């Protein structure tokens, strides 16, 4: 039997980002647009009116009386690759061998591993940073992380031909059968929302988590779910939906929330958590939460706050 520790790390790994991302501040920023639409008489729904592209510094929107009421005449997305990522892997590898005895030999190998990164490779599922100014914001389990991996390698010496004549022994004797069988844990995955609630127009929005993630062990079963009347639970659904579900969607929120400093609905305790690379819907590069705080509706709120205001 042999047990070894294997560790590795990388620095300056490649990842993608957008140089011309929508900003929160400024005359055309998301905050200015939000305040403009809610101050109108009658007020307009800012979530239907805000132009994320006009909040980009190089967009050069040409509207009047406010520039963001027009359309961009300059640049929108400017994608580039950066060498700012990092990763680390820690593994405990244990092997056990049984030498040939009575025609049977085998090896058992088990690996206990954890791999963490910000970007799991060029053009990987997580290759683009959610927060353009902070690659570490996406730090979590790598796309290819597998906690457990078990490999069995038996070799069986076929007993045929041992007592045969010389010619038959040469034809039938000395044959072996071997196989390699492996089992491993599943890889992590990230939930994305395409509703644009963060107004970043990057397609990287993440749903918030309202409660425990309920995983269905038989996703082949047909189920029906509907969004709740509170506008939060199940808001990732476009309506009553019937199909095959791996997780219960009623504890996920894709509804847009107000910008930082604005009120949130009272008695709405939104707690991020679960086994996902979770960043909620954060306004780009402006606000970040500590690990002990709750990521909610694009901003930082107090720990399980029910006061209805951001801290």
Note the pLDDT tens digit of each residue in 127-172: 788 888 888 888 889 888 999 999 999 998 887 766 666 766 667 6
Whether 12 is covered by a domain: the verdict is no
Could you tell me which of 205, 189, 188 has the C-alpha nearest to residue 197? 205
Could you tell me which of 83, 93, 137 has the C-alpha nearest to residue 113? 93
Does residue 170 sit in the same domain as residue 214?
no
- 53-57: Cβ within 8 A, 24+ apart: 53/22, 53/201, 54/28, 55/22, 55/23, 55/24, 55/26, 55/28, 55/29, 55/30, 55/199, 56/20, 56/21, 56/22, 56/23, 57/20, 57/23, 57/26
Residue 183 has pLDDT above 90, yes or no: yes
Residue 35 has pLDDT above 70, yes or no: yes
Q: What is the mean pLDDT of residues 166-181?
A: 78
**Given this model, what pLDDT does residue 207 score?**
78
User: Backbone phi, then psi, for 70, in 5-degree steps?
Assistant: -100, -155
CA distance 151 to 128: 33
Whether 46 is covered by a domain: the verdict is no
Does residue 198 sit in the same domain as residue 307?
yes
CA distance 112 to 4: 11
Q: How confident is the model at residue 112 (pLDDT cuts 50, 70, 90)?
A: very high
**Given this model, what pLDDT does residue 114 score?**
95
Whether 65 is covered by a domain: the verdict is no
Count of the separate structural domains present in the chain: 2
Does residue 123 sit in the same domain as residue 209?
no
Residue 306 has pLDDT above 50, yes or no: no
| Final residue in a domain of this structure, among 151, 167, 188 | 188
Whether 126 is covered by a domain: the verdict is yes
pLDDT tens-digit readout, 251-271:
888 876 555 444 433 333 333
Whether 280 is covered by a domain: the verdict is yes
Whether 19 is covered by a domain: the verdict is no
- Cβ contact 199:22 at 8 Å: yes
Q: What is the mean pLDDT of residues 195-210?
A: 76
Whether 292 is covered by a domain: the verdict is yes
- Return the higher-pLDDT residue of 194 and 180: 180
Residue 22 has pLDDT above 80, yes or no: yes
Percent of the chain scoring above 90 in pLDDT: 29
Q: What is the mean pLDDT of residues 229-256?
A: 85
**Given this model, what pLDDT does residue 257 score?**
59
Cβ contacts of 40 within 8 Å, gap of 6 or more: none
**Given this model, what pLDDT does residue 280 score?**
33
**Given this model, what pLDDT does residue 151 score?**
96
Does residue 197 sit in the same domain as residue 311?
yes
| Domain extent for 309 | 190-311
Q: What is the mean pLDDT of residues 66-77?
A: 93
**Given this model, what pLDDT does residue 69 score?**
93
Whether 49 is covered by a domain: the verdict is no
């Amino acid at each position: 039997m042999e047990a070894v520790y294997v560790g590795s790390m990388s620095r300056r790994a490649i990842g993608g980002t957008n140089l011309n991302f929508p900003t929160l501040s400024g005359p055309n920023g998301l905050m200015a647009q939000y305040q403009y639409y809610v101050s109108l008489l009658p007020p307009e729904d800012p979530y239907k009116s805000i132009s994320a592209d006009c909040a980009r510094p190089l967009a050069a929107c040409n509207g009047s009386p406010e520039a963001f009421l027009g359309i961009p005449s300059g640049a929108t997305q400017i994608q580039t690759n950066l060498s700012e990522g990092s990763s680390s892997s820690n593994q405990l590898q244990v092997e056990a061998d049984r030498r040939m005895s009575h025609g049977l030999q085998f090896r058992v190998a088990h690996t206990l591993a954890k791999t963490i990164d910000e970007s799991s490779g060029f053009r990987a599922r997580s290759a683009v940073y959610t927060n353009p100014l902070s690659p570490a914001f996406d730090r979590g389990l790598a796309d290819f992380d597998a906690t457990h991996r078990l490999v069995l390698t038996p070799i069986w010496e076929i007993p045929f031909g041992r007592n045969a004549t010389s010619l038959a022994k040469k034809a039938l004797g000395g044959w072996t059968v071997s196989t390699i069988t492996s089992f491993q844990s599943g890889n992590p995955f990230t939930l994305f929302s395409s509703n644009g609630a963060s107004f970043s127009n990057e397609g990287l929005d993440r749903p918030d988590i309202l409660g425990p993630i309920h995983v269905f062990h038989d996703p082949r079963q047909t189920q029906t779910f509907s969004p709740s009347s509170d506008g939060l639970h199940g808001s990732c659904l476009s309506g009553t939906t019937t199909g095959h579900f791996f997780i219960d969607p009623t504890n996920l929120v894709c509804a847009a929330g107000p910008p930082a400093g604005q009120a949130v609905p009272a008695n709405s305790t939104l707690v991020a958590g679960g086994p996902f690379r979770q960043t909620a819907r954060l306004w780009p590069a402006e606000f970040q939460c500590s690990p002990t705080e709750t990521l909610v509706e694009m901003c930082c709120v107090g720990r399980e706050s029910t006061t209805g205001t951001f801290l």
